[in-house]
Protein backbone atom coordinates (compact mmCIF):
# COMPACT_ATOMS: atom_id res chain seq x y z
CA UNK A 1 0.00 0.00 0.00
CA UNK A 2 1.42 3.43 -0.85
CA UNK A 3 2.34 5.63 2.06
CA UNK A 4 -0.32 8.15 1.11
CA UNK A 5 -3.24 5.72 1.46
CA UNK A 6 -6.02 6.78 3.79
CA UNK A 7 -8.83 5.03 5.59
CA UNK A 8 -11.51 6.27 3.24
CA UNK A 9 -11.43 3.27 0.91
CA UNK A 10 -14.86 1.61 0.39
CA UNK A 11 -13.72 -1.66 1.99
CA UNK A 12 -12.33 -0.04 5.14
CA UNK A 13 -14.19 3.11 6.06
CA UNK A 14 -14.14 4.91 9.37
CA UNK A 15 -16.93 4.28 11.83
CA UNK A 16 -20.20 5.87 10.74
CA UNK A 17 -21.30 6.46 14.33
CA UNK A 18 -21.57 10.26 14.56
CA UNK A 19 -19.01 12.01 16.73
CA UNK A 20 -20.20 13.52 20.01
CA UNK A 21 -21.03 17.15 19.25
CA UNK A 22 -18.64 19.84 20.30
CA UNK A 23 -19.78 22.61 22.58
CA UNK A 24 -19.59 24.76 19.47
CA UNK A 25 -22.25 22.62 17.77
CA UNK A 26 -25.06 23.16 20.28
CA UNK A 27 -28.34 24.13 18.53
CA UNK A 28 -30.52 26.71 20.22
CA UNK A 29 -33.75 25.17 21.51
CA UNK A 30 -35.66 28.44 21.02
CA UNK A 31 -34.85 30.32 17.78
CA UNK A 32 -34.08 33.97 18.19
CA UNK A 33 -36.88 34.79 15.70
CA UNK A 34 -39.45 33.36 18.15
CA UNK A 35 -38.97 36.44 20.27
CA UNK A 36 -38.80 38.92 17.42
CA UNK A 37 -41.91 41.00 16.66
CA UNK A 38 -40.68 42.24 13.34
CA UNK A 39 -40.98 40.60 9.90
CA UNK A 40 -40.13 36.89 9.74
CA UNK A 41 -36.54 36.09 8.78
CA UNK A 42 -35.93 34.31 5.47
CA UNK A 43 -35.90 30.49 5.53
CA UNK A 44 -32.56 29.16 6.64
CA UNK A 45 -31.50 32.52 8.01
CA UNK A 46 -31.05 31.22 11.57
CA UNK A 47 -29.04 28.21 10.44
CA UNK A 48 -26.80 30.41 8.33
CA UNK A 49 -26.31 32.90 11.14
CA UNK A 50 -25.40 30.16 13.63
CA UNK A 51 -23.04 28.50 11.15
CA UNK A 52 -21.33 31.83 10.41
CA UNK A 53 -20.91 32.74 14.06
CA UNK A 54 -19.53 29.29 14.85
CA UNK A 55 -17.10 29.48 11.94
CA UNK A 56 -15.81 32.86 13.12
CA UNK A 57 -15.39 31.67 16.69
CA UNK A 58 -13.74 28.44 15.61
CA UNK A 59 -11.26 30.26 13.37
CA UNK A 60 -10.37 32.63 16.21
CA UNK A 61 -9.96 29.80 18.73
CA UNK A 62 -7.82 27.79 16.32
CA UNK A 63 -5.58 30.78 15.67
CA UNK A 64 -5.12 31.48 19.36
CA UNK A 65 -4.48 27.79 20.02
CA UNK A 66 -1.56 27.86 17.61
CA UNK A 67 0.00 30.62 19.68
CA UNK A 68 -0.69 29.02 23.07
CA UNK A 69 0.31 25.47 22.18
CA UNK A 70 -3.30 24.34 22.46
CA UNK A 71 -3.85 25.67 25.99
CA UNK A 72 -7.17 27.45 26.44
CA UNK A 73 -6.77 30.97 27.91
CA UNK A 74 -10.40 30.75 29.07
CA UNK A 75 -9.66 27.63 31.11
CA UNK A 76 -6.67 29.32 32.75
CA UNK A 77 -8.58 32.55 33.38
CA UNK A 78 -11.49 30.68 34.95
CA UNK A 79 -9.21 28.81 37.32
CA UNK A 80 -7.27 31.92 38.36
CA UNK A 81 -10.48 33.93 38.77
CA UNK A 82 -11.92 31.22 41.04
CA UNK A 83 -8.77 31.33 43.16
CA UNK A 84 -8.54 35.13 43.23
CA UNK A 85 -12.18 35.70 44.18
CA UNK A 86 -12.12 33.15 46.98
CA UNK A 87 -8.79 34.49 48.26
CA UNK A 88 -10.23 38.02 48.25
CA UNK A 89 -13.06 36.79 50.48
CA UNK A 90 -10.69 34.94 52.84
CA UNK A 91 -9.13 37.55 55.15
CA UNK A 92 -7.89 34.80 57.44
CA UNK A 93 -5.96 33.17 54.60
CA UNK A 94 -4.60 36.57 53.57
CA UNK A 95 -3.39 37.20 57.12
CA UNK A 96 -1.81 33.75 57.21
CA UNK A 97 0.05 34.43 53.96
CA UNK A 98 1.23 37.80 55.24
CA UNK A 99 2.60 36.19 58.40
CA UNK A 100 4.28 33.46 56.36
CA UNK A 101 5.85 36.07 54.06
CA UNK A 102 7.22 37.98 57.06
CA UNK A 103 8.59 34.82 58.64
CA UNK A 104 10.25 33.72 55.41
CA UNK A 105 11.80 37.16 55.02
CA UNK A 106 13.16 36.93 58.55
CA UNK A 107 14.53 33.43 57.90
CA UNK A 108 16.28 34.64 54.76
CA UNK A 109 17.75 37.64 56.61
CA UNK A 110 18.99 35.35 59.37
CA UNK A 111 20.57 33.03 56.81
CA UNK A 112 22.23 35.97 55.06
CA UNK A 113 23.82 37.06 58.32
CA UNK A 114 24.96 33.54 59.18
CA UNK A 115 26.41 33.01 55.71
CA UNK A 116 28.47 36.21 56.11
CA UNK A 117 29.78 34.94 59.47
CA UNK A 118 30.28 31.26 58.68
CA UNK A 119 30.45 31.12 54.89
CA UNK A 120 29.53 27.78 53.35
CA UNK A 121 29.21 26.21 56.80
CA UNK A 122 26.00 28.16 57.43
CA UNK A 123 23.03 25.78 57.70
CA UNK A 124 20.47 26.54 54.96
CA UNK A 125 17.01 27.58 56.11
CA UNK A 126 15.23 25.48 53.47
CA UNK A 127 16.20 22.42 51.43
CA UNK A 128 15.07 21.63 47.87
CA UNK A 129 12.55 18.87 47.34
CA UNK A 130 14.03 15.42 46.89
CA UNK A 131 13.37 15.40 43.14
CA UNK A 132 14.76 18.92 42.60
CA UNK A 133 18.37 18.72 41.42
CA UNK A 134 18.81 22.28 40.14
CA UNK A 135 21.00 23.30 43.08
CA UNK A 136 23.06 20.13 43.56
CA UNK A 137 26.32 21.78 42.44
CA UNK A 138 28.44 22.66 45.53
CA UNK A 139 28.97 26.14 44.04
CA UNK A 140 25.43 27.02 45.09
CA UNK A 141 26.59 27.02 48.72
CA UNK A 142 28.91 30.01 48.13
CA UNK A 143 27.81 33.62 48.63
CA UNK A 144 25.84 35.23 46.96
CA UNK A 145 24.48 32.20 45.10
CA UNK A 146 23.32 30.61 48.33
CA UNK A 147 21.11 33.65 48.90
CA UNK A 148 19.69 33.38 45.39
CA UNK A 149 18.70 29.75 45.75
CA UNK A 150 17.43 30.09 49.33
CA UNK A 151 15.32 33.12 48.39
CA UNK A 152 13.90 31.27 45.40
CA UNK A 153 13.04 28.15 47.40
CA UNK A 154 11.32 30.22 50.09
CA UNK A 155 9.37 32.10 47.41
CA UNK A 156 8.39 28.84 45.77
CA UNK A 157 7.18 27.48 49.11
CA UNK A 158 5.15 30.64 49.79
CA UNK A 159 3.42 30.44 46.42
CA UNK A 160 2.53 26.83 47.07
CA UNK A 161 0.89 27.94 50.30
CA UNK A 162 -0.85 30.79 48.49
CA UNK A 163 -2.29 28.67 45.66
CA UNK A 164 -3.48 25.78 47.82
CA UNK A 165 -5.80 25.55 50.78
CA UNK A 166 -8.01 28.50 49.83
CA UNK A 167 -11.47 27.56 51.06
CA UNK A 168 -14.10 27.27 48.33
CA UNK A 169 -11.81 26.95 45.31
CA UNK A 170 -12.74 23.99 43.09
CA UNK A 171 -10.21 21.21 43.39
CA UNK A 172 -9.56 21.17 39.63
CA UNK A 173 -9.04 24.95 39.58
CA UNK A 174 -6.69 24.78 42.56
CA UNK A 175 -4.58 22.17 40.76
CA UNK A 176 -4.41 24.35 37.62
CA UNK A 177 -3.42 27.47 39.58
CA UNK A 178 -0.76 25.61 41.58
CA UNK A 179 0.62 23.97 38.42
CA UNK A 180 0.80 27.17 36.37
CA UNK A 181 2.31 29.11 39.29
CA UNK A 182 4.97 26.44 39.58
CA UNK A 183 5.68 26.63 35.85
CA UNK A 184 6.10 30.42 36.00
CA UNK A 185 8.37 30.18 39.03
CA UNK A 186 10.48 27.49 37.36
CA UNK A 187 11.00 29.86 34.46
CA UNK A 188 12.54 32.53 36.70
CA UNK A 189 14.64 30.15 38.79
CA UNK A 190 18.18 31.49 39.30
CA UNK A 191 19.46 28.23 37.86
CA UNK A 192 18.15 29.33 34.45
CA UNK A 193 19.97 32.66 34.32
CA UNK A 194 23.64 32.89 33.32
CA UNK A 195 24.50 35.69 35.78
CA UNK A 196 22.87 33.89 38.73
CA UNK A 197 24.04 30.33 38.05
CA UNK A 198 27.53 29.71 39.47
CA UNK A 199 28.07 26.66 37.27
CA UNK A 200 27.48 28.74 34.14
CA UNK A 201 29.66 31.61 35.39
CA UNK A 202 32.43 29.19 36.30
CA UNK A 203 32.32 27.49 32.91
CA UNK A 204 32.31 30.88 31.16
CA UNK A 205 35.44 31.97 33.03
CA UNK A 206 37.22 28.67 32.46
CA UNK A 207 36.45 28.51 28.73
CA UNK A 208 36.73 32.21 27.96
CA UNK A 209 33.08 32.25 26.86
CA UNK A 210 33.38 29.27 24.52
CA UNK A 211 30.41 27.63 26.25
CA UNK A 212 28.18 30.55 25.24
CA UNK A 213 29.39 30.32 21.66
CA UNK A 214 28.62 26.59 21.60
CA UNK A 215 25.27 27.33 23.19
CA UNK A 216 24.42 29.89 20.52
CA UNK A 217 25.31 27.36 17.83
CA UNK A 218 23.10 24.80 19.57
CA UNK A 219 20.22 27.31 19.60
CA UNK A 220 20.65 27.93 15.88
CA UNK A 221 20.86 24.21 15.12
CA UNK A 222 17.75 23.39 17.13
CA UNK A 223 15.84 26.26 15.51
CA UNK A 224 16.85 25.05 12.05
CA UNK A 225 15.68 21.53 12.83
CA UNK A 226 12.42 22.72 14.33
CA UNK A 227 11.57 24.97 11.38
CA UNK A 228 12.54 22.24 8.92
CA UNK A 229 10.55 19.55 10.70
CA UNK A 230 13.69 17.51 11.36
CA UNK A 231 14.41 15.25 14.29
CA UNK A 232 16.30 16.49 17.32
CA UNK A 233 20.09 16.64 17.11
CA UNK A 234 21.63 13.20 17.62
CA UNK A 235 18.46 11.26 16.77
CA UNK A 236 19.73 10.50 13.27
CA UNK A 237 22.22 8.07 14.82
CA UNK A 238 19.32 5.68 15.42
CA UNK A 239 17.80 4.77 12.09
CA UNK A 240 14.72 2.57 12.17
CA UNK A 241 15.56 -0.85 10.83
CA UNK A 242 19.29 -0.33 11.24
CA UNK A 243 20.06 0.59 14.88
CA UNK A 244 16.56 0.27 16.35
CA UNK A 245 13.59 -1.95 15.44
CA UNK A 246 15.95 -4.60 14.10
CA UNK A 247 14.42 -7.82 15.44
CA UNK A 248 13.93 -10.11 12.45
CA UNK A 249 10.37 -10.52 11.23
CA UNK A 250 7.89 -10.09 8.41
CA UNK A 251 4.84 -7.91 7.80
CA UNK A 252 2.02 -10.45 7.48
CA UNK A 253 -1.01 -8.14 7.28
CA UNK A 254 -1.74 -4.56 6.29
CA UNK A 255 -4.80 -2.34 6.13
CA UNK A 256 -5.27 1.43 6.05
CA UNK A 257 -4.42 1.80 9.73
CA UNK A 258 -1.97 -0.93 10.75
CA UNK A 259 0.76 -3.24 9.64
CA UNK A 260 1.04 -6.48 11.61
CA UNK A 261 4.56 -7.78 12.14
CA UNK A 262 5.27 -11.42 12.94
CA UNK A 263 8.73 -11.92 14.43
CA UNK A 264 10.92 -14.84 13.49
CA UNK A 265 11.42 -17.55 16.11
CA UNK A 266 14.70 -17.46 18.04
CA UNK A 267 14.36 -20.91 19.65
CA UNK A 268 13.88 -24.41 18.27
CA UNK A 269 10.55 -24.79 20.03
CA UNK A 270 7.94 -22.17 20.86
CA UNK A 271 4.88 -21.92 23.06
CA UNK A 272 1.63 -22.64 21.18
CA UNK A 273 -0.05 -19.41 22.28
CA UNK A 274 1.24 -16.33 20.43
CA UNK A 275 1.74 -12.90 22.01
CA UNK A 276 0.04 -9.93 20.31
CA UNK A 277 1.37 -6.50 21.37
CA UNK A 278 -0.79 -3.38 20.94
CA UNK A 279 1.43 -0.28 21.35
CA UNK A 280 0.17 3.27 21.74
CA UNK A 281 -0.28 5.26 18.52
CA UNK A 282 0.82 8.48 20.22
CA UNK A 283 4.36 7.38 19.35
CA UNK A 284 5.93 4.77 17.05
CA UNK A 285 5.68 1.13 18.11
CA UNK A 286 9.40 0.42 18.35
CA UNK A 287 9.81 1.60 21.95
CA UNK A 288 9.17 -2.11 22.58
CA UNK A 289 11.79 -3.12 20.01
CA UNK A 290 14.62 -0.66 20.58
CA UNK A 291 18.26 -1.72 20.37
CA UNK A 292 18.95 -5.46 20.55
CA UNK A 293 20.11 -5.15 24.18
CA UNK A 294 16.83 -3.62 25.43
CA UNK A 295 14.19 -4.94 23.02
CA UNK A 296 11.18 -6.45 24.78
CA UNK A 297 10.27 -8.22 21.54
CA UNK A 298 13.71 -9.84 21.30
CA UNK A 299 13.42 -10.91 24.94
CA UNK A 300 10.05 -12.55 24.31
CA UNK A 301 11.14 -14.47 21.22
CA UNK A 302 14.27 -15.51 23.11
CA UNK A 303 12.01 -17.03 25.76
CA UNK A 304 10.21 -19.16 23.19
CA UNK A 305 7.17 -17.03 22.31
CA UNK A 306 5.77 -16.26 18.89
CA UNK A 307 5.32 -12.48 18.87
CA UNK A 308 3.09 -10.27 16.74
CA UNK A 309 3.28 -6.47 16.89
CA UNK A 310 0.90 -3.82 15.59
CA UNK A 311 2.62 -0.93 13.81
CA UNK A 312 0.24 2.03 13.52
CA UNK A 313 0.15 4.26 10.50
CA UNK A 314 0.96 7.95 11.09
CA UNK A 315 -2.29 9.77 10.14
CA UNK A 316 -2.52 12.94 8.11
CA UNK A 317 -5.16 15.66 7.60
CA UNK A 318 -7.20 13.37 5.31
CA UNK A 319 -7.78 11.08 8.31
CA UNK A 320 -9.51 13.76 10.40
CA UNK A 321 -12.71 11.68 10.69
CA UNK A 322 -11.09 8.43 11.78
CA UNK A 323 -12.88 7.44 14.99
CA UNK A 324 -11.60 5.94 18.22
CA UNK A 325 -13.55 2.77 17.44
CA UNK A 326 -11.73 2.49 14.11
CA UNK A 327 -8.58 1.86 16.12
CA UNK A 328 -10.32 -1.03 17.86
CA UNK A 329 -11.96 -2.37 14.69
CA UNK A 330 -9.13 -1.94 12.18
CA UNK A 331 -6.43 -2.29 14.84
CA UNK A 332 -6.97 -4.82 17.63
CA UNK A 333 -9.80 -6.79 16.02
CA UNK A 334 -8.14 -6.92 12.59
CA UNK A 335 -4.84 -8.00 14.16
CA UNK A 336 -6.51 -10.80 16.13
CA UNK A 337 -8.23 -11.99 12.96
CA UNK A 338 -4.89 -11.95 11.11
CA UNK A 339 -3.14 -13.87 13.91
CA UNK A 340 -5.94 -16.47 13.75
CA UNK A 341 -5.18 -17.04 10.07
CA UNK A 342 -1.52 -17.71 10.86
CA UNK A 343 -2.26 -19.83 13.95
CA UNK A 344 -5.85 -21.10 13.62
CA UNK A 345 -7.60 -22.01 16.84
CA UNK A 346 -4.85 -20.75 19.15
CA UNK A 347 -5.74 -18.50 22.11
CA UNK A 348 -3.70 -15.30 22.22
CA UNK A 349 -1.75 -13.57 24.99
CA UNK A 350 -2.63 -9.90 24.29
CA UNK A 351 -0.49 -7.09 25.71
CA UNK A 352 -1.12 -3.35 25.41
CA UNK A 353 1.09 -0.40 26.28
CA UNK A 354 -0.17 3.03 27.39
CA UNK A 355 -3.11 4.14 25.22
CA UNK A 356 -2.77 0.84 23.37
CA UNK A 357 -3.47 -0.93 26.66
CA UNK A 358 -6.61 1.15 27.24
CA UNK A 359 -7.80 0.27 23.74
CA UNK A 360 -6.98 -3.40 24.33
CA UNK A 361 -8.99 -3.37 27.58
CA UNK A 362 -11.97 -1.93 25.67
CA UNK A 363 -11.58 -4.58 22.96
CA UNK A 364 -11.26 -7.34 25.59
CA UNK A 365 -14.39 -6.10 27.38
CA UNK A 366 -16.32 -6.10 24.09
CA UNK A 367 -15.06 -9.60 23.28
CA UNK A 368 -16.11 -10.84 26.72
CA UNK A 369 -19.55 -9.25 26.29
CA UNK A 370 -19.98 -10.98 22.92
CA UNK A 371 -18.66 -14.39 23.99
CA UNK A 372 -15.37 -14.16 22.04
CA UNK A 373 -12.94 -16.32 24.04
CA UNK A 374 -9.78 -15.91 21.94
CA UNK A 375 -7.74 -14.23 24.71
CA UNK A 376 -5.58 -16.56 26.81
CA UNK A 377 -4.47 -13.63 28.97
CA UNK A 378 -4.41 -9.85 29.07
CA UNK A 379 -1.38 -7.68 29.93
CA UNK A 380 -1.67 -3.91 30.44
CA UNK A 381 1.59 -1.96 30.58
CA UNK A 382 1.27 1.53 32.12
CA UNK A 383 -2.31 1.60 30.86
CA UNK A 384 -5.37 3.10 32.55
CA UNK A 385 -9.00 2.00 32.55
CA UNK A 386 -10.14 4.57 35.14
CA UNK A 387 -9.20 8.22 34.61
CA UNK A 388 -10.37 9.86 37.83
CA UNK A 389 -6.79 10.10 39.15
CA UNK A 390 -4.87 10.23 35.90
CA UNK A 391 -2.25 12.69 37.13
CA UNK A 392 -1.39 16.19 35.99
CA UNK A 393 -2.44 15.45 32.41
CA UNK A 394 -6.01 15.90 33.65
CA UNK A 395 -5.38 19.48 34.77
CA UNK A 396 -6.49 20.88 31.43
CA UNK A 397 -9.05 18.22 30.55
CA UNK A 398 -12.28 20.16 30.97
CA UNK A 399 -15.05 21.31 28.65
CA UNK A 400 -13.34 24.65 27.99
CA UNK A 401 -10.00 23.07 27.12
CA UNK A 402 -11.36 20.25 24.98
CA UNK A 403 -13.66 22.58 23.04
CA UNK A 404 -10.70 24.88 22.39
CA UNK A 405 -8.52 21.96 21.30
CA UNK A 406 -11.25 20.66 19.00
CA UNK A 407 -11.19 23.94 17.09
CA UNK A 408 -7.47 23.56 16.53
CA UNK A 409 -7.72 19.90 15.51
CA UNK A 410 -10.61 20.50 13.11
CA UNK A 411 -8.67 23.27 11.39
CA UNK A 412 -5.61 21.03 10.93
CA UNK A 413 -7.19 17.57 10.75
CA UNK A 414 -4.84 16.12 13.36
CA UNK A 415 -3.21 16.96 16.65
CA UNK A 416 0.37 17.79 15.80
CA UNK A 417 3.00 15.66 17.49
CA UNK A 418 4.94 18.65 18.82
CA UNK A 419 1.94 19.84 20.85
CA UNK A 420 1.49 16.46 22.49
CA UNK A 421 5.22 16.25 23.20
CA UNK A 422 5.12 19.72 24.72
CA UNK A 423 2.31 18.72 27.07
CA UNK A 424 4.30 15.73 28.32
CA UNK A 425 7.41 17.86 28.78
CA UNK A 426 5.52 20.38 30.92
CA UNK A 427 4.75 17.63 33.43
CA UNK A 428 8.48 17.40 34.14
CA UNK A 429 9.60 20.83 33.00
CA UNK A 430 12.65 20.99 35.28
CA UNK A 431 14.05 17.74 33.86
CA UNK A 432 12.82 17.93 30.28
CA UNK A 433 12.87 21.65 29.49
CA UNK A 434 14.86 23.91 31.83
CA UNK A 435 17.74 21.57 32.66
CA UNK A 436 18.23 20.89 28.96
CA UNK A 437 18.22 24.61 28.19
CA UNK A 438 20.88 25.18 30.84
CA UNK A 439 23.05 22.27 29.69
CA UNK A 440 22.73 22.84 25.96
CA UNK A 441 22.46 26.63 25.64
CA UNK A 442 24.25 28.04 28.71
CA UNK A 443 26.88 25.39 29.40
CA UNK A 444 27.19 24.44 25.73
CA UNK A 445 27.00 20.69 26.40
CA UNK A 446 25.09 18.45 24.04
CA UNK A 447 23.43 15.63 25.94
CA UNK A 448 24.32 12.20 24.58
CA UNK A 449 21.30 10.93 22.64
CA UNK A 450 20.14 7.43 23.58
CA UNK A 451 17.92 5.08 21.61
CA UNK A 452 15.02 5.88 23.94
CA UNK A 453 15.53 9.63 23.41
CA UNK A 454 15.69 9.14 19.64
CA UNK A 455 12.42 7.18 19.74
CA UNK A 456 10.85 9.93 21.84
CA UNK A 457 11.73 12.44 19.11
CA UNK A 458 10.05 10.25 16.46
CA UNK A 459 6.55 11.50 17.25
CA UNK A 460 3.25 10.89 15.47
CA UNK A 461 0.01 12.76 14.88
CA UNK A 462 -3.52 11.85 15.99
CA UNK A 463 -6.76 12.18 14.00
CA UNK A 464 -8.99 15.01 15.20
CA UNK A 465 -12.11 12.93 15.73
CA UNK A 466 -10.33 10.06 17.46
CA UNK A 467 -8.51 12.31 19.88
CA UNK A 468 -11.62 14.32 20.74
CA UNK A 469 -13.54 11.11 21.43
CA UNK A 470 -10.68 9.79 23.54
CA UNK A 471 -10.41 12.97 25.62
CA UNK A 472 -14.15 13.27 26.13
CA UNK A 473 -15.15 9.66 26.60
CA UNK A 474 -12.23 8.53 28.75
CA UNK A 475 -10.47 11.49 30.38
CA UNK A 476 -13.40 13.88 30.81
CA UNK A 477 -16.39 11.57 31.35
CA UNK A 478 -14.61 8.36 32.51
CA UNK A 479 -17.13 6.34 30.51
CA UNK A 480 -15.15 3.09 30.50
CA UNK A 481 -14.84 2.79 34.28
CA UNK A 482 -18.46 3.82 34.81
CA UNK A 483 -20.01 1.43 32.28
CA UNK A 484 -21.07 3.97 29.63
CA UNK A 485 -18.43 3.39 26.94
CA UNK A 486 -20.14 1.97 23.87
CA UNK A 487 -18.77 -0.45 21.32
CA UNK A 488 -21.02 -1.13 18.34
CA UNK A 489 -23.88 0.65 20.04
CA UNK A 490 -23.78 -1.24 23.35
CA UNK A 491 -21.86 -0.47 26.56
CA UNK A 492 -18.89 -2.53 27.69
CA UNK A 493 -17.61 -3.17 31.21
CA UNK A 494 -14.11 -4.03 32.45
CA UNK A 495 -15.75 -6.36 34.97
CA UNK A 496 -16.85 -8.65 32.10
CA UNK A 497 -13.23 -9.60 31.33
CA UNK A 498 -12.45 -13.11 32.57
CA UNK A 499 -8.98 -13.63 31.07
CA UNK A 500 -6.21 -13.66 33.71
CA UNK A 501 -4.59 -10.24 33.73
CA UNK A 502 -1.10 -8.91 34.37
CA UNK A 503 -0.84 -5.14 34.96
CA UNK A 504 2.32 -3.06 35.24
CA UNK A 505 2.62 0.41 36.75
CA UNK A 506 5.80 2.43 37.20
CA UNK A 507 6.81 4.39 40.29
CA UNK A 508 7.64 7.71 38.59
CA UNK A 509 5.01 7.69 35.85
CA UNK A 510 3.75 11.22 35.06
CA UNK A 511 1.54 10.04 32.18
CA UNK A 512 -0.26 7.07 33.79
CA UNK A 513 0.39 7.33 37.56
CA UNK A 514 0.65 3.89 39.08
CA UNK A 515 -2.20 4.44 41.54
CA UNK A 516 -4.42 5.18 38.56
CA UNK A 517 -3.23 2.01 36.78
CA UNK A 518 -3.83 0.12 40.05
CA UNK A 519 -7.57 0.89 39.84
CA UNK A 520 -7.82 -2.08 37.50
CA UNK A 521 -7.67 -4.32 40.58
CA UNK A 522 -10.84 -2.60 41.84
CA UNK A 523 -12.74 -2.83 38.54
CA UNK A 524 -11.76 -6.29 37.26
CA UNK A 525 -13.57 -9.47 38.32
CA UNK A 526 -10.76 -11.79 37.31
CA UNK A 527 -7.35 -12.87 38.56
CA UNK A 528 -5.06 -9.82 38.44
CA UNK A 529 -1.32 -9.81 39.07
CA UNK A 530 -0.15 -6.25 39.63
CA UNK A 531 3.51 -5.31 39.32
CA UNK A 532 5.01 -1.97 40.30
CA UNK A 533 8.32 -1.31 38.54
CA UNK A 534 10.93 1.34 39.20
CA UNK A 535 11.38 4.09 36.61
CA UNK A 536 9.00 6.23 34.61
CA UNK A 537 6.40 5.77 31.89
CA UNK A 538 8.89 4.73 29.20
CA UNK A 539 12.11 3.79 30.98
CA UNK A 540 10.21 1.75 33.58
CA UNK A 541 8.73 -0.43 30.83
CA UNK A 542 11.98 -0.66 28.83
CA UNK A 543 13.73 -2.37 31.73
CA UNK A 544 15.83 -5.19 30.33
CA UNK A 545 17.64 -7.78 32.49
CA UNK A 546 20.98 -6.39 33.61
CA UNK A 547 19.77 -2.80 33.69
CA UNK A 548 21.33 -1.25 36.80
CA UNK A 549 19.32 0.10 39.73
CA UNK A 550 16.07 -1.63 38.76
CA UNK A 551 13.59 -3.22 41.16
CA UNK A 552 9.91 -4.09 41.31
CA UNK A 553 7.10 -5.21 43.61
CA UNK A 554 4.51 -7.79 42.63
CA UNK A 555 1.42 -9.37 44.17
CA UNK A 556 -1.39 -11.51 42.74
CA UNK A 557 -5.08 -11.06 43.50
CA UNK A 558 -7.58 -13.82 42.81
CA UNK A 559 -11.03 -12.89 41.51
CA UNK A 560 -12.62 -13.74 44.86
CA UNK A 561 -10.07 -11.86 46.99
CA UNK A 562 -11.01 -8.66 48.78
CA UNK A 563 -9.76 -5.33 47.52
CA UNK A 564 -6.46 -4.01 48.93
CA UNK A 565 -5.72 -0.27 48.69
CA UNK A 566 -2.43 0.92 47.10
CA UNK A 567 -0.69 1.72 50.40
CA UNK A 568 -1.46 -1.70 51.92
CA UNK A 569 -0.55 -3.33 48.61
CA UNK A 570 2.96 -1.80 48.71
CA UNK A 571 3.46 -3.18 52.23
CA UNK A 572 2.27 -6.67 51.29
CA UNK A 573 3.82 -7.04 47.81
CA UNK A 574 6.95 -9.09 47.21
CA UNK A 575 10.03 -6.93 46.55
CA UNK A 576 12.67 -8.04 44.04
CA UNK A 577 15.79 -6.50 42.54
CA UNK A 578 16.35 -6.38 38.79
CA UNK A 579 14.18 -6.36 35.67
CA UNK A 580 10.49 -7.25 35.78
CA UNK A 581 10.61 -8.87 32.33
CA UNK A 582 11.49 -12.40 33.60
CA UNK A 583 8.61 -12.16 36.09
CA UNK A 584 6.20 -11.48 33.24
CA UNK A 585 7.53 -14.12 30.86
CA UNK A 586 7.33 -16.70 33.67
CA UNK A 587 3.71 -15.63 34.24
CA UNK A 588 2.98 -16.07 30.52
CA UNK A 589 4.74 -19.44 30.41
CA UNK A 590 2.64 -20.70 33.34
CA UNK A 591 -0.48 -19.95 31.28
CA UNK A 592 0.83 -21.47 28.06
CA UNK A 593 1.06 -24.95 26.67
CA UNK A 594 4.26 -27.01 26.23
CA UNK A 595 6.66 -25.81 23.50
CA UNK A 596 6.36 -27.23 20.01
CA UNK A 597 7.57 -26.56 16.44
CA UNK A 598 7.59 -22.89 15.36
CA UNK A 599 4.67 -21.75 13.18
CA UNK A 600 5.03 -20.58 9.58
CA UNK A 601 5.79 -16.94 8.88
CA UNK A 602 2.50 -15.54 7.70
CA UNK A 603 -0.65 -17.23 6.52
CA UNK A 604 -0.07 -20.59 4.87
CA UNK A 605 0.00 -20.19 1.11
CA UNK A 606 0.00 -16.38 1.23
CA UNK A 607 3.11 -14.26 0.67
CA UNK A 608 4.35 -11.93 3.36
CA UNK A 609 4.31 -8.19 2.67
CA UNK A 610 7.94 -7.36 3.32
CA UNK A 611 10.49 -7.51 6.13
CA UNK A 612 10.11 -5.88 9.52
CA UNK A 613 9.90 -3.11 10.58
CA UNK A 614 7.60 -2.44 7.61
CA UNK A 615 6.69 0.83 5.94
CA UNK A 616 4.27 2.58 8.29
CA UNK A 617 6.88 3.08 11.01
CA UNK A 618 9.03 5.06 8.58
CA UNK A 619 6.31 7.55 7.69
CA UNK A 620 7.00 11.10 8.85
Catalytic residues: 354
Distance, CA of 87 to CA of 91 (rounded, Å): 8
- What is the full DSSP assignment across 150-175? HHHHHHHHHHHHHHS--TT--HHHHH
Phi/psi at 518 (5° precision): -65, -20
Q: Contact 481/516 with Cβ under 8 angstroms?
A: no
The count of other CB atoms within 10 Å of the CB of residue 107 is 15
> Among 456, 340, 323, which residue's Cα sits nearest to residue 16?
323
Orientation angle between helical segments 210-227 and 198-207, nearest 10 degrees: 110
Q: Contact 350/377 with Cβ under 8 angstroms?
A: yes
Distance, CA of 552 to CA of 533 (rounded, Å): 4
In angstroms, what CA-CA distances link 365 with 362, 378, 476, 592? 5, 11, 20, 22
Distance, CA of 273 to CA of 346 (rounded, Å): 6
Query: CB-based contacts of 189: which residues, under 8 Å, 6+ apart?
Result: 134, 152, 434
**Residue 587: in which H helix or E strand, if any?**
helix 581-590
In angstroms, what CA-CA distances link 145 with 41, 183, 195, 603? 71, 22, 10, 68
Distance, CA of 228 to CA of 466 (rounded, Å): 27
Distance, CA of 313 to CA of 284 (rounded, Å): 9
Query: CB-based contacts of 135: which residues, under 8 Å, 6+ apart?
Result: 128, 149, 191
Distance, CA of 25 to CA of 288 (rounded, Å): 40
Report the DSSP pairing between strands 528-533 and 501-506. Answer: parallel
Amino acid sequence: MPATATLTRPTETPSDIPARPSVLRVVRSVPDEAQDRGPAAPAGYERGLVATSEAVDEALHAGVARLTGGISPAALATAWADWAVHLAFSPGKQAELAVKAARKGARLSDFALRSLLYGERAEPCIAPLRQDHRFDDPAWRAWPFNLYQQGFLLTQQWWHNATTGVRGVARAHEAIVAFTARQMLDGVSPSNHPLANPAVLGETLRSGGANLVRGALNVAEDARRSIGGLKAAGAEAYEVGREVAVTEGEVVYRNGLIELIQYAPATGAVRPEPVLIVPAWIMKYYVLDLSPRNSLVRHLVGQGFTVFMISWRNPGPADRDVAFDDYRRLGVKAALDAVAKVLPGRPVHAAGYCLGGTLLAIAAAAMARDGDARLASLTLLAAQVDFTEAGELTLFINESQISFLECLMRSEGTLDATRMAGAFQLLRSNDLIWSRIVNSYLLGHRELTTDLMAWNADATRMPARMHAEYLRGLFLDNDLAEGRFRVEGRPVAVSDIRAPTFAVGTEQDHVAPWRSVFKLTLLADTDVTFLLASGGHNAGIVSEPGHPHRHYRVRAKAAEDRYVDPERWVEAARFAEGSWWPEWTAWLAARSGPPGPPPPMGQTGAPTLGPAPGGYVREA
